[in-house]
Chain A
Amino acid sequence: MPRRPSPQTEAVIGAMARDPATWRHGYDLLKELDLKAGTLYPILMRLCDRGVLEATWEAEPPAGRPPRHLYRLKGGVAPESRPEPGMVPAW
């Protein structure tokens, strides 16, 4: 039986849905939503595994820094125009 997403998961999806086509850094999301890394990353992992989010690596990182991961809603489409993501399996 599907469970409701946690408030933090809903907050992440909500933040991404405000501009679904834009790729976001994990740390920016963390600051925007005032979440801890230990809360945000499990959510990002689950949502990526579930196919709600997609991730890619930065193409042109600043000199001296490794490329960062970028996240956005799958296909850059807001969730209301896609099937209900339902609940995410534990990992």
Chain B
Amino acid sequence: MTRDLPARGLALAVRALPAAHRDWGLAMQAELAAVEDAAARRSFALGCTRTLLTRPATLLRLAGAALLPAAGAVSIVLALRIANLGVRAEALVLIAALAGVLWLGRRPGVLGPVAADVTSRRVRAASCAIVGALLVMVLLPSEAVGKRGVLSGRVGILWAWARGSSVLTVSRSF
């Protein structure tokens, strides 16, 4: 199969598809493989890519995937604001450990991706939420809870971590 720019671009869009719509992406890739004219390939791949990336289900999935880096960035900023050097180091190590666990969660193995069904995703999300709660406890000390916005900040980080983790570590073997 040709691996030119149109094929690569379409392949990226197909990777962004949720499981339920993957067949359509594969169908488009197979169709593209049968198109030989370079201009026709570009036009076909562009149309297919636009179709796939503008589906609401795809946009939701991409948004979910973007939550985790956002939660990570906020966590690092909060960790760097911790005055106590030891606690700050502890928080940064915890963030790094969570990033490592997430990386492992995307690779085959014991901690690898879970199946795309609802139960598996909920179990993974719940376990991620527990770990995320630990992170939030370290980042935001309890005396700050009374301050406006801190509680919602905690909930936000926790939700983003759990949602992003569950989206990113679902099995891609669909």
Contacts and interface: CB of A to CB of B under 8 A. Distances in A.
Interface residues of B, number: 23
Nearest to A90: B56
B34 A25 contact: yes
A75 B48 CA distance: 27
B35 A27 contact: yes
Interface in A16-48: 25-27, 30, 36-42, 45
B33 interface: yes
A27 B47 contact: no
Contacts of B50: 38
B48 A69 contact: no
Interface residues of A, number: 22
B31 interface: yes
The majority secondary structure among interface residues of chain A is mixed
B11 to A, nearest CB: 12
Nearest to A27: B31
A63 to B, nearest CB: 12
Given A36-B43, A37-B44, A68-B34, A26 B51 contact: no
Nearest to B48: A37
Interface of B: 1, 23-24, 26-31, 33-35, 43-48, 50-51, 55-57
